[in-house]
Structure 1
Amino acid sequence: MSALTDRLDACKAEGRAALVGYLPVGYPDVATSLAAMRVLVEAGCDIVEVGPPYSDPVLDGPMIQHAAARALEGGVKVDDAFAAVSVVAEAGAVPVVMSYANLMLQRGWSRFAADLKAAGGAGVITPDLTPDAAPAWVDAAREEGVDTIFLVAPSTTRERMQLTCDASTGFVYATPLMGVTGERASVGDAAERVVKGARDAGAERVCIGVGVATGAQAAEIAGYADGVIVGTALVRALGDEGDLERLRAKVTELAEGVRAAR
């Protein structure tokens, strides 16, 4: 058990899915991004994904790429991500980091895990890292009690689904779309199929990142997933001007959607 599993189980006991919000650190500037993390928690996020910006974000769509580029131009550092983790923890949500592997490798697997734990973080989502490719990371995370969260998709084979679910702790991150992140007009039935595939492989907790942009979409996903992950819609709401009230309104809408599905 971990802070992540405890929070997901607590949401389930309330008869609902968790709302998981993502924001990149340093967008539109570091101070505003830290304030935005607090807004996510105050407005209803149970778990917050803190994103250290990366210069080659292969999974991210145009909106998050734009935000990452602006943050990097502003001089954001990996240490700022750990500061954001502390802000989220102090505000009362469970913080995780969503990081590309090279940032972690450059800092050192063990140091990254230790720094995250010291900041109050619960786990790391690694979109470009598979469990069989990073035994050193898995070992370092286990040593610090940090959850390792890996991704599954429609193309994941049965064997790899089993491998990924076995190696994932906290939750399994399921993405039912082939392509980069971004808002979608509709969810479709692929999301439910991927969740079922992960559960069949033994995953106890599965959260979906699918391009959710509205409360209605959040309610739909919350009907069968343990957590609803939203990123692009929140980044767009915050915008270059750092509009915290617009962000608050979007999170409130999504939180109401998740809770309406109970």
Structure 2
Amino acid sequence: MNAKREVHTVRVIDTSHERKTAPNFLKHIEDTLKMLGQDWNIIVVAFTSDASGESRAARIALLEKYPWLIVLDCYAHQVNLVIGDYLGSGSRILAIADDAEELISWLRRRTLVLARIREVQAANGKSFFAIIRPVATRWTSHYLAFKRLLELQPTLTAILASDRVSGGETTFMAGIKGSAAKAKARQMLALIEDGAFWHSLNRIKLHLEPFAIAVNLAQAAHCRLDQVLLIFGFLYHRFSRLPSDIDDEESSSAVLKSLEDRWSKADQSVFVAAVILNPIYRLAPFALI
């Protein structure tokens, strides 16, 4: 339960012995609502859950039985799905994302390279930056992983330059055996030295940055209805007006369509009312509509 911007655990149920179905979930929801009313003297005005199929079915059934209740999807998950639509848009620039993930995976396996990175960073008086691997089901991790890789670019370039000055074998090739492994290493070295790769990766990072902000807001336990609508408006405005140096029509169109689709399925009047009733905003966010 969320009240006065604080989360309170009111009931924990062991469901390990039962099937995870919508009817079973609905029963637990109803039992908890009844308990809150009878034992806590609390009137619940809104309910939300994760975005799984069974949870969605339970929410639909709950709204049918209690039409006065505000029943909401998880909007942190909805924003993550928009990120998924962005990454899956097929834009040519996003081919760089695959190259970046490949480089990240390769660097994480190269213990000698990781040790050299730590050495160079320590020599420059910097803390060690770990290489972050993006996780497919946590789309915001792509932003963090690409941001970290960009932060490591000067270190990687410095290692290459130092190795060439010394005239010995580069750290990136040390200990590698087999023609296939050496070919892979040369491919990764070419990426590290490719200015166009880093430029495109920076564009992707700048595209993902608004999503990282949005998810951090939407996943908060005290996220409000008005904030959800403002988040959607912020993302729509951002991708409708990307600066020319980072604009990409194909991926932007995918984001805008995804936002429109998800907004069309929302209980729009509840979100609009929440913004209007906020004395800070009232009608101001709708002035340009």
Band of TM-score, shorter chain: under 0.3
TM-score of the superposed pair, with normalisation by structure 1: 0.26
Greater relative contact order (Cα < 8 A, sep 6+) = 1
Structure of larger gyration radius: 2
TM-score of the superposed pair, with normalisation by structure 2: 0.25
Of Structure 1 and Structure 2, which has the larger fraction of its residues in helix? 2
Of Structure 1 and Structure 2, which has the larger fraction of its residues in strand? 1
